[in-house]
Each structure stands twice: as C-alpha cells, then as structure tokens.
Amino acid sequence: MVKHRFELIDSSLAPDDLSGSDRHKPDTPQNETGTDSNLSKDALEIAATLRTNTISKTVLDGFLRSADAGIILLTGIITSLYGASINVPPLWQVVALLEAAMVGVMLFQTADLYQASTLQKGFSQLMRLVSAWALVFAALITSLLLILPSAEIPQAFLISWFVSGAVALSLFRMIMRSLIVRWTRAGRLNRRAVLVGGGQAAADLIAELERQPYNPIEICGIFDDRDNDRSPPSVSGYQKLGNISDLVEFARIAQIDMLLVTIPIRAEKRIIQLLEKLWILPVDIRLSAHTDKLRFRQRASSFVGSVPFVDVMEKPITDWDTITKRAFDLFFASLSLIILSPIMLFTALLIKLDSPGPVIFRQKRYGFNNELIDVFKFRSMYHDMADTNASKLVTKGDPRVTRIGRIIRKTSLDELPQLLNVLMGQLSLVGPRPHALSAKAEDRLYENVVDGYFARHKVKPGITGWAQIKGWRGETDTEDKIQKRVECDIYYIENWSVFFDLYILIKTPFCLLETENAY
C-alpha cells in the first residue's frame, strides 16, 4: 500500500523509537563526510524512520518455499526412522519423500499460501494449509498404488507423517505470520520509493499507484529542483523534502529501494542531468511512463499493477545475490582466519617488538553507501606519526613507516585484520578497496578528481578487488591512477558474479608478488 509517510511522523512513532523528552528531538544525522546534515527538519525526521532495511519479497518467498519443502522432507525422514515401520524399498521411500516435497510446494502455491494477504491470516491460512497437505497425500497414495499392491501401502507411516507434517507446517506458519504482521506494520515488506519531480505529473502517478489493488510501493517523499511556484510543497498529501542534491544526502541516511522519476520521458536533457547526479546511489531508478501514452514490452519495462515504468538503472547485488555473496564472505573469511592465524599472531608480535604503540590501527573509511566504518589494519607507522585521515599518501622511503611496517605493507599483511571487518559485515572479501576520508591524488580529493566517484560505494568495499588484480595497487599519486582504479571498480560492480569473486580471490596472492607500487 501507499502510505502518507510525512503525516504519520508526529502521531505514529512508537515510544520505543522516540520517548520522553527526546520524542521531538531525533539525533541529527550526518552526511557522508561526517558533518552535520543540510536536510530540512522534516526530511531528517522521515529519514530517521527509514533506517532499517526492507525485506526482499523475492528472498522471503524463496525462503518460505524452501522451508516448507524442508519441513516435509524432515518430518518424513523422522517418521520413517522413529515412527511406524515401512515395508517399502529404500528407492521408493526416497521417491515418495521428494514427490511430497515438490507436490506440496506446488499445491501450497495453488492455494495462495505464499501470497502476502494469506500469510497474515490465522485460522483461514491453517485451513488452506491442511487442505493442501491432504491433497499432497492423496497424490502420494495414488502414486504408490501404481507401483505397489494396496495391501503393501504403509498406512501407519503415512498417517504418522501426515499428522507430524501438519503440526510442524502449522507451527512454522504461525511463527512466520507473527513476523510478517510485524514487518508489514513497520513497512519493511514494502518497496520504499522517492518521487523525483513534483507537480501534476507526481499527482497523476500517485493517483495511479493508489488505484492498484496490490501495490507494494511506499512513497516516502518528493524531491524537486523547481521552486514552489512550479512544484508545490505538497502533492496529494506527500511533502516536498528538498532538491536533488538533498535527495542524494537523504538516500545516504534512509534505506530507500527506488527512485521514481515523474518527469516526462520526452524531456531527455533534464532526465540526463538528473541521472548524472543520481546514478551513484545504490537504488533502482525507474522512469514513470504512465503519462506518455506509449506501449512498452514487458522486457523493456516493469509494472506495478498496470502502471508502467522504464527501467533505467538496477541496484547491484540484490535479493539472493546478497545472500550468496554474504555466504561466500563468511565461508572464505572464516577459513582464511583459521589458516592465517599463525601468521597474524607472529606479525602482531613483531609489530609490538619493533616500536611502541597498539598492534591494530583503526582508520575511518567509506563503506557501503558512503557509511563511515572503522577499518582494521596492522599498524605499519610509528604511533606518534599515525595519519588517521590519510591526508598524506605513503610514499617510497616514507620516514613514518616502521621497519616491520615496510615489510607488511609490501606483502599486504597489514590488511589481514580486515578479515574481522568481513565477519562483522562491514566489508566483503572482494569489492572496491575502501579509501580513507582525506585521500588525495595530486593534492585533490578523490571525489573531486573522478566524476561519479561515489558510485564505487554502491556495493560493500572489499579487502581485494578488480583494480588490484589489474595492477592498480599501491600509491595513487596521480589523477590517472585513481581514475583507472575507479574504472575498474565500476566494471566490477556492473559485472559481479560469484565466479568473478572467486577468480579475483584466487588471483590475489599472485598479484601480491608484484610489490613495485606498494610502500
């Protein structure tokens, strides 16, 4: 459903969110550089309510199907091992288990047991579930009658399996129902959208969306560069929260899923100007096409009900890809820590013996969506000469670097503590390398050197990346070097796959042998 977000700010915040004297005094968010935000008070209040991530319906749907199939298989196996005996060949037992799981998921789908509206119901959902489960056994018994005499059908086993399966599936569904009701009330199952462009075009789009019976989009506000004469401060109950530059900052604070551009498609020049500012954000960007009276093929567009949108940019690494990449990171980071722990302990001992100061050096760097994170490294500089913001690049023969520091920097052993950042979810094993806040090339900040520099933060940064594999490791003393790095980072983001990550991970140790640019 579409919610009038800004109208709920004063009346619907739960006491757990803002209580006591702080109820009307939310913490002032900071922008990507760590300074106070320039957003309006209304924009800040709305952004504060949108800090939690939304839940992918694709992932939730896949999880429910997998869980149902797993419960069916598990209850069948447990019943066969500890329940009634079965006088059926093992092969047919396996076939029966797999058939029940597959047919069960298909019949649950037919019974609309994966629909959001059904998942929020109690008694009626259970009635549908038990009815579909009974049909699964009707199909299973029919299949067994085709290969076995009726006297050999394991009735006691089937009855025990039916009962245990019905109980287990019902308990799982009730647990999921309570979670889904909670997530729905919090708006976490909606797709949060911001309208880019106000006025009549925005009003028409809002009206079209509100007419759709099953609309997953929650409009969180409107941003427009035009003044109030051409773009009124409120459209159909939704507030204009700022201009396009404000939108970039807003999307750094709030968890937004998509931007819906209401500007007519024929206004090409203006759309291009907008996209040049907005493509750095990790969100889907859609052009509203409902007012252009054009017919779009399904492949070229997406629809909310009957409302067409032209797909311009997709958020990289979403849905199951996010889970796959996280599983990849957890597995290989844990394995690496186990294998490399003796080297890390020995390195820590050498650092402690070489110079006074802590073994681990923490540095603020840009993470996903420009979030500031503490990156862990083995200390390679003298403690009293540490450059927390990396305002001065390390150069060849730099007097700030210790004797052990020169070795661990050349071999990249100083990066190994970042495996802890991976386990904490702040970094990935593979991704654009996180840069320090004040990193410069030829005395210019990286973001001032490369147009669209922050687009490299559309995914989590990594310990290693495509730029390092391609030879752009080490000092970035020229603008060309940082330009090449960012080009490699963007290529990685646009071409990501698990196999690409694996290739980079395998190539990394060999690339570390090239130490010419590492100081």
Q: Where in the chain is the domain with CATH 3.40.50.720?
A: 5-52+190-313
Local structure of 242: helix, strand or coil: strand
Say how many C-beta atoms besides its own lie within 10 A of residue 406's C-beta. 17
Q: Using pLDDT thresholds of 50, 70 and 90, give the confidence band for residue 32.
A: very low
- SS3 sequence, 348-373? HHHHHHHCCCCCEEEEEEECHHHCEE
Q: pLDDT value at position 75?
A: 94
452 compared with 416, residue with greater pLDDT: 416
Average pLDDT over residues 487-495: 93
Mean pLDDT for the chain overall: 84
- SS3 sequence, 129-154? HHHHHHHHHHHHHHHHHHHCCHHHCC
pLDDT at 93 > cutoff 60 = yes
pLDDT at 20 > cutoff 70 = no
Closest CA to 257 of 287, 233, 282, 239: 282
Q: Using pLDDT thresholds of 50, 70 and 90, give the confidence band for residue 451.
A: confident
pLDDT at 435 > cutoff 90 = no
Lowest-confidence region among 240-249, 410-419, 466-475: 466-475
Q: pLDDT value at position 5?
A: 42
Percentage above 90 pLDDT, the chain: 46
Q: pLDDT value at position 162?
A: 94
Q: pLDDT value at position 480?
A: 85
pLDDT at 516 > cutoff 80 = no
Q: For domain 5-52+190-313, which architecture applies? A: 3-Layer(aba) Sandwich (3.40)
Burial class (CB in 10 A: 0-12, 13-18, 19+), 255: middle
pLDDT at 2 > cutoff 80 = no
pLDDT at 144 > cutoff 50 = yes
135 compared with 155, residue with greater pLDDT: 135
Q: pLDDT value at position 423?
A: 96
Q: pLDDT value at position 498?
A: 94
Lowest-confidence region among 114-123, 302-311, 330-339, 478-487: 302-311
pTM of the model: 0.83
89 compared with 355, residue with greater pLDDT: 355
Amino acid at residue number 503:
Y
pLDDT at 87 > cutoff 50 = yes
State how far the Cα of 282 lies from the Cα of 284, in Å rounded to an integer: 7
Report yes or no: 24 and 32 within 8 Å, Cβ to Cβ: no
Q: Using pLDDT thresholds of 50, 70 and 90, give the confidence band for residue 72.
A: very high
96 compared with 431, residue with greater pLDDT: 431
Average pLDDT over residues 251-275: 88
The answer for residues whose C-beta is within 8 angstroms of residue 35's C-beta and 6 or more apart is none
CA dihedral 463, 464, 466, 470 (to 10 degrees): 140
Average pLDDT over residues 348-361: 91
The answer for residues whose C-beta is within 8 angstroms of residue 215's C-beta and 6 or more apart is 1, 2, 209, 304, 305
Tokens matching residue 243: 């201009």
Burial class (CB in 10 A: 0-12, 13-18, 19+), 463: buried
